[in-house]
Amino acid sequence: MSETAEGAPSAGMDARILPIMLIIGSVRKRAWDNIERIMRRNSPIPDVGGYLEGPPEVPEFVRKVISAGGPLIWLSRLVERGILPKNASHYHEMRFLVVSLIFFAEVDQLDLTQVLGIELMVRRISWIEYVYERAQKTATKPEWSFSEHYMLCPMLHEGSANSNPARRAFIASRLKDFALIEKELRKAKEDLPKPNPTVPADAAGGEGGGKGRKKK
């Protein structure tokens, strides 16, 4: 693979793959600060709009991971803060996703900003973090009802302490529209006449709708 003086891939290379870096023993390894330095955060994935909606989550998540000292340290801090205990039902899923991300970034050395599957994975990681952090703050059970709207992936549709402001605003707008629709549906349902199951259909009177008067 060819490489420019700055360490970024040269023209004509697969945009998803960074120049391979080797350490002692010919083991592939790339540090996260290097990953963040040369990834194409300002170059959108071709055709991304056909599969995912809203601003990307990967660049902000990479910065958060670097600030923590690495992906596994970031995850361990969620555990230490009581946000995602090791006995939580989603802990093993979260660890699987984080370890997979490490393989993609450090070993396979992909540009995380250029792979749709990785963007979707990171959105799932951020969603799990958000749900459990909100549950901790409100002392309630994790609430997953807006998963499809948070992920912004139409292919997932069957019928936010998010750290990315642009994406959070986009999601808030979508959820606001969804809430208005739900409100109108509830109002329409409440306006429907409610049947009285205690009164048999043949016992209803005339205009009054009550029991017929006794004949004198």
The pLDDT-based confidence of 6 (bands split at 50, 70, 90) is very low
Tell me what pLDDT residue 82 has. Answer: 96
Name the amino acid, one letter, at 15: A
Which CA distances in Å does 196 have to 120, 161, 204? 50, 46, 10
Residue 162 has pLDDT above 60, yes or no: no
Tell me what pLDDT residue 49 has. Answer: 80
Tell me what pLDDT residue 147 has. Answer: 83
Which CA distances in Å does 33 have to 8, 38, 39? 14, 9, 10
The more confident residue out of 8 and 91 is: 91
Query: Average pLDDT for residues 43-71, to the nearest whole number?
Result: 87
Bridge partners of 17?
110
Tell me what pLDDT residue 104 has. Answer: 94
Domain ranges in the chain are: 22-192
Residue 211 has pLDDT above 70, yes or no: no
How many other CB atoms are found less than 10 A from the CB of residue 78?
A: 20
**Which of these, 173, 197, 174, 177, lies nearest to 185 by C-alpha position?**
177
Residue 5 has pLDDT above 90, yes or no: no
Question: What is the distance between the alpha carbons of residues 23 and 3, in angstroms, rounded to a whole number?
Answer: 17
The pLDDT-based confidence of 116 (bands split at 50, 70, 90) is very high
Of 17-31, 139-153, 196-210, the poorest mean pLDDT is in: 196-210
Its pTM stands at: 0.66
Tell me what pLDDT residue 178 has. Answer: 65
pLDDT above 90 coverage of the chain, percent: 37
Of 18-27, 56-65, 102-111, the poorest mean pLDDT is in: 18-27
Which CA distances in Å does 89 have to 6, 77, 93, 138? 43, 17, 8, 18
Tell me what pLDDT residue 121 has. Answer: 96
The secondary structure element, H or E, covering residue 22 is strand 22-23
Query: Average pLDDT for residues 129-152, to the nearest whole number?
Result: 90
The secondary structure element, H or E, covering residue 28 is strand 27-28
The pLDDT-based confidence of 148 (bands split at 50, 70, 90) is confident
Average pLDDT, rounded, for the chain: 78
The more confident residue out of 132 and 146 is: 132
The pLDDT-based confidence of 87 (bands split at 50, 70, 90) is very high
pLDDT tens by residue, 167-187: 667 776 766 766 666 666 666
Phi, psi of 3 (to 5 degrees): -145, 140
